[in-house]
């Protein structure tokens, strides 16, 4: 179960990272629209939340297992 949860979180993080790269490239190339900026802000916050969830999950499972 632990592997599945972590894998799912990692997949979500990676997808947001890839989509953020596309939005950042559009902005860098001068084609940025307001939604690109909004997406980057939201994606950044989501990636921080996912990283915190992964960290918390790992800490919790380590405490439970010991």
Q: What is the pLDDT of residues 19-56, one digit of tens each?
A: 999 999 999 999 999 999 999 999 999 999 999 999 98
Whether residue 1 has pLDDT greater than 70: no
Among candidates 51, 41, 56, which has minimal Cα distance to 14?
Answer: 51
Looking at residue 31, the DSSP 8-state letter turns out to be -
Question: How is residue 34 written in tokens?
Answer: 């307001």
3 has pLDDT over 90: no
């Amino acid at each position: 179960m632990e592997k599945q949860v972590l894998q799912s979180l990692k997949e979500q993080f990676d997808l947001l990272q890839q989509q953020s790269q596309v939005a950042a490239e559009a902005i860098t190339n001068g084609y940025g629209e307001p939604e690109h900026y909004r997406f980057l802000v939201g994606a950044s916050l989501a990636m921080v939340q996912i990283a915190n969830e992964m960290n918390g999950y790992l800490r919790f499972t380590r405490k439970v297992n010991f």
